[in-house]
Amino acid sequence: MKVFEIRGDWGFDHLQLGTRPEPRPGAGQVLLRMKAASLNYRDLVVPNRGYGAFTGNLPLIPLSDGVGEVIEVGDGVTRVKAGDRVCPCFHQSWIGGAPDLERLTRTLGGPVDGTMAELMCLPADGVVKVAAHLTDEQAATLPCAALTAWSALVTYDNLGPGSRVLVQGTGGVALFALAFAKLAGCHVTVISSSDEKLARAKAMGADFGINYTSTPEWSKASREVTAGRGFDHIVELGGEKTLPQSLRAIRPGGTLSMIGVLSGSALSAPLGLVVTRQVRLQGITVGSRDGFEAMMRAIDQHKLVPVIDRVFAFEELKEAMEQLKRGAHFGKLCIRH
Ligand SMILES: NC(=O)c1ccc[n+]([C@@H]2O[C@H](COP(=O)([O-])OP(=O)(O)OC[C@H]3O[C@@H](n4cnc5c(N)ncnc54)[C@H](OP(=O)(O)O)[C@@H]3O)[C@@H](O)[C@H]2O)c1
């Protein structure tokens, strides 16, 4: 079967097309014919072994997210059947319950082989059935970015109509956070480097937009949105440069979902504010299969459609990664198998 794999050594230069023997499902496993994949910021980190020993060993098939059709099931499989369309779970060992080290370590696209393969053989417990209204590319965007936003806003918080949420940027996680916060009836502020992207976010339902390039002190600018009260929840994707602003914009007792480090990962924030405002800093690592299934039910009920910026051919993986690096996208970049 055709695959993309990092072979020989780490680095983008070692990401190449190749072939591997076709896998067969053993007991408790399913064989998927992959239909589509999607990129996450993480997929730019993996080829440089950016997660250290947790990145895995070579050769490694990249990308965590995708969708496939079940074409064969092994002995004892009852959860899914041939013909079902399913997404592989990002955390292959986290079915439900609280995270622990064992549940968090078996992640697709490093250290476990990912979705850039024609066929994938996975435990039947590690897949989730897809809502019928989604195209393959739309379904392929859900396992990491969407579930991360869902975990932050729904699993780890208790938001509702009237809650004030701030979302950073207009990438994959951010636009899912916007969509889920609107489903919950929240008032949503989006910050972006681009006025044009802010206009698009407003067309999707964002209530307020701030350009963080022209207004770097966006915590002050956002005060009017919350009538001086502060945000109930901030989806923190920037890290080093955004955290100091977030700590000034969050309400006392509010939640900062610590998800991304797009502007750096060093901690240089006024930590006194965490104490005096009783801020809850909640680290998020994607989510469990139970969370994924709950999110899929919500997506199905509301016929929610993920925002896709562009779809690339399988062979164009490196072009897709270059586009992701440039950061000009709005929503998700996908691969058609
Ligand atoms: N912890 C987890 O489970 C988890 C899961 C998924 C992703 N992540 C992390 O979350 C982050 C976003 O991932 P993604 O896949 O959504 O990335 P993405 O699609 O590449 O989105 C990047 C967007 O973030 C915005 N951005 C960049 N720098 C910013 C800054 N300083 N302040 C505010 N916004 C900024 C930009 O939006 P504009 O162009 O609008 O300015 C950019 O387009 C990454 O750090 C990723 O590693 C973590």
pTM of the model: 0.97
For 272-299, the pLDDT digits (tens) are: 999 999 999 999 999 999 999 999 999 9
Query: What's the pLDDT band for 77 if we cut at 50, 70, 90?
Result: very high
Contacts within 8 Å (CB) and 24+ apart, 218-221: 218/191, 218/245, 218/249, 219/245, 219/246, 219/248, 219/249, 220/248
Query: Could you tell me which of 108, 233, 103 has the C-alpha nearest to residue 165?
Result: 233
Query: What's the pLDDT band for 194 if we cut at 50, 70, 90?
Result: very high
Burial class (CB within 10 angstroms; exposed 0-12, middle 13-18, buried 19+) of 217 = exposed
Q: What's the pLDDT score for residue 268?
A: 84
| Mutation to probe ligand 1, out of 41, 234, 240 (largest number of atoms < 8 A from CB) | 41
Burial class (CB within 10 angstroms; exposed 0-12, middle 13-18, buried 19+) of 144 = buried
Q: For 22, which DSSP code?
A: P
Asked if 239 and 261 touch (Cβ cutoff 8 Å), the reply is yes
Asked if 64 and 114 touch (Cβ cutoff 8 Å), the reply is yes
Domains and CATH numbers, the chain: 2-144+287-336 (3.90.180.10), 157-283 (3.40.50.720)
Q: Record the tokens describing residue 271, joined without a space.
A: 């930590």
Report d(CA 44, CA 46) in Å as an integer: 6
Q: What's the pLDDT score for residue 213?
A: 97
- Order of strands across the sheet that contains 164-168: 208-211, 187-192, 164-168, 231-236, 250-258, 280-283
Task: Output the ligand 1 site: residues, CB below 6 A.
Answer: 40-42, 144-145, 148, 168-174, 191-194, 197, 212, 237-238, 241-242, 259-263, 284-286, 324, 327
Burial class (CB within 10 angstroms; exposed 0-12, middle 13-18, buried 19+) of 202 = middle
